[in-house]
Chain A
Amino acid sequence: MRLTRSEHAAGWLFVLPAALLIVAFGLFPIGWALLLSFQSSDFVSPSKWVGLANYQLMWVDPVFWKSLKATFYYTFASVPLSVSFATLVALLLNEKIPGVSVWRTIYYLPAIISGVPVAMMWWWLFNPSYGLINGTLYDWFGAVGPRWLSDTHWVIPAFIIMSLWGFGGPMLIYLAAIQGVPTHLYESAELDGANVLQQIWNITLPSITPVIFFNGVMAIISSFQVFTNAFIITQGGPNYASYFYVLLIWNNAFTYIANMGYADGLSWVLFSIMLVFTWLAFRSSHAWVHYETDVPGEAK
């Protein structure tokens, strides 16, 4: 189909907002953030060029390291757990059990129930004496649970449990992927005498590895940026044990310190860390992600 000049123009007109989007919320902010990270600016005095001083400050800032540790601990525990949890639930909800659409809706509900109300819910559930978790432990088993949110050792595990609540979205994507697995694969496996678990392990899971990979990368990206729950419930405490990285950026930029330059340096460090981990995930994917489409022209 030959295109006329007016068709070109129409096409450009439709995608114009996307170009604005890229500039306004992509290139421009990250460029400006990089620029600001080499300056000292606090809203009051005029900003001045300080070179790498903001980055040098990070190196000797103990809070920066504590925050990095909390964020890494959280990410590396919560991502594998939530990815496998969502996959497991999707596998179960793919079975032909009675009332399956009702179960799917119930399991998707936590994805709808989110934000500040859920932060409040968790705050109350983790109450050391009267919350659902420790209250039930005490009522039913006579056990005294940990002090969760006010214990430096238990606060991150508590946040990891909270992160599992968000499994609904990925679960739905897994479910869609599982339903896309060609049924003839299962039929021939059945003829070969493979049981359900063998079928899941040898057919379903390998077939959905691209989607597991996608959800894994998304989970890494979002858990490096965890904010709302920590901001509302613990404010980063106790003793910086849950002082996640975005909290550090937020406090430097907008609360007591108002050091925009330092905050931008911090955010660029986070950006680089996330890029490295995304890159590592892509590198590792060749070993375990199975793509259905072959490269045309290549011999099998």
Chain B
Amino acid sequence: MAAEALQHPKTRPIELLQRRSIRHRLWVGSVTLLVASGSLFLLWPVYFMLITSLKTSGGAFILPIKWLPYIQYEPQWANYKEALEFMKWTVVYGNTLKVASLAMIGDVLSATFVAYGFARFRAPFRNTLFTMMLATLMIPFAVRLVPEYLSFARLGMIDTFWPLILPPWLGSAFNIFLLRQFFTTIPLAMDEAATIDGAGPLRILFQILVPQIRPALIVVAIGSFTFHWNDFLRPLLYLNLPANRTAAVALSFFSAVYGGTPFNLLMAAALVMLIPVLVLFFTLQRYYIQGVVISGVKG
């Protein structure tokens, strides 16, 4: 502080400071107002989904829009039961949960191991390999679509969950990159101290490094679960039997079977599908935003 004061010897006149503080409060007030009204804009569509899901099939198509359940109309909670039963929700959500959790475990484990390798070991061609891995991020999935399908078809894995579960166990370039950035922020001296105490690479990884990058691991876990939970294209491609459907695919078949689109049931089913991801996000939210912010700075 003292050094700063020496560098800028001119102190500000009191009146200028006061004028600035009024202007400052006006600024904060208007920004808050803008942010608050913007957030209403974001929550409005979700609210519209919610009230639609509680209307009768005819009630969804009445103008002016009835915004207030219990006051303007009787909420139809039975819509949720009908929508879920139509989706065969026990089967569909069982499938999705299985795929998303196994894929998530694969993503987290493989990214941890590979990132550790890239961050801590020197081996020939390691940097070339790392660059090449990042380059695979640039390959559009559309290019890989057909060859991947043909490969899994040859392996006899169509209409099994393997094409959805196996790839994450090889790691994803993005997650590996993210975790490597985090590993490199931990001082190497900690590894060396542990080595002197006789710890092997695996012990160092799990007892020393992993506890320190927990926020990043949570980012990877949430991101991976959300991705696989919502994934639509690959389940649509690989799973044909109705018994194998995931929630995203089942949701997309809704209107096709019903004929006219029952938007009240559709919104109910869509909202239910959002619940697990929202629960996961809100439980781990604190780590999540922190983790992304740190990785953004370091990356």
Interfacial residues, chain A to chain B (CB-CB below 8 A) = 3, 7-8, 10-15, 17-22, 24-26, 28-30, 32-33, 36, 89, 92-93, 95-98, 101, 103-110, 112-121, 123-125, 127, 129-130, 132, 135-136, 138-139, 172-173, 175-177, 179-180, 191, 196, 211, 221, 224-225, 227-228, 231-232, 245-246, 249-250, 253-254, 260, 263-264, 267-268, 270-271, 274-275, 278
A105 touches B285 (CB 8 A): yes
Across chains A and B, the number of contacting residue pairs, with CB separation under 8 Å, is 269
Which listed residue, B43, B49, B226, touches A124 by the CB 8 Å rule? B49
Contact of B143 among A29, A107, A114, A231 (CB under 8 A): A29
Docked Cα-Cα span, A263 to B38, in Å, equals 42
Residue B267 at the chain A interface, CB threshold 8 Å: yes
Instruction: Report whether B35 and A97 are in contact in the complex, using a CB–CB cutoff of 8 Å.
Output: yes
Known contacts A36-B146, A130-B60, A135-B63, A124 near B263 by CB under 8 Å: yes
A193 — nearest CB in chain B belongs to which residue? B16
Q: Which residues of B contact A18 (CB under 8 A)?
A: 114, 117-118, 129-130, 133, 171, 173, 176
Whether B233 pairs with A228 at a CB distance below 8 angstroms is yes
B positions within 8 Å CB-CB of A:
8, 10, 27-28, 31-32, 34-36, 38-39, 42-46, 48-49, 52, 60-65, 110, 113-114, 116-118, 120-124, 126, 129-130, 132-133, 135-136, 138-151, 167, 169-173, 176, 201, 226, 229-233, 237, 247-249, 251-252, 254, 261, 263, 266-267, 269-271, 273-274, 277-278, 281, 285, 289, 292-297
Contact at B143–A268, with CB atoms within 8 Å?
A: yes
Residues of A within 8 A of B171 (CB): 17-18, 21
- A95 pairs with B31, CB closer than 8 A: yes
Contacts of B113 in A (CB 8 A): 14, 17
From B42, B48, B114, B120, contact of A125 by CB (8 A): B48
Q: Is A112 touching B252 in the complex (CB atoms < 8 A)?
A: no
Q: How far is the CA of A85 from the CA of B145 in the complex (A)?
A: 32
Q: Write out the residue numbers on chain A whose beta carbons fall within 8 Å of the beta carbon of B129.
A: 15, 18-19, 22
State the Cβ distance, B73 to closest chain A Cβ, in Å: 14
Please measure, in the bound complex, the distance between the C-alpha atom of A109 and the C-alpha atom of B45, giving whole angstroms.
12
**A residues within 8 A CB of B281?**
112
User: In the complex, what distance in Å separates the CA atom of A121 from the CA atom of B170?
Assistant: 34
The secondary structure that dominates the A interface is: helix
Contacts of B143 in A (CB 8 A): 29-30, 33, 264, 267-268, 270-271
CB of A139 within 8 A of CB of B267, answer no
Q: Flag if A270 contacts B123 (CB, 8 Å).
A: no
The contact of B39 among A106, A173, A271, by CB within 8 Å, is A106
- 8 extra A-B contacts, CB within 8 A, seeds A15-B114, A15-B123, A117-B271: A29-B151, A108-B289, A113-B46, A116-B248, A120-B254, A125-B48, A260-B146, A278-B138
The 5 residue pairs across chains A and B that have the minimum distance between CB atoms: A14-B117, A11-B121, A176-B296, A115-B230, A11-B123
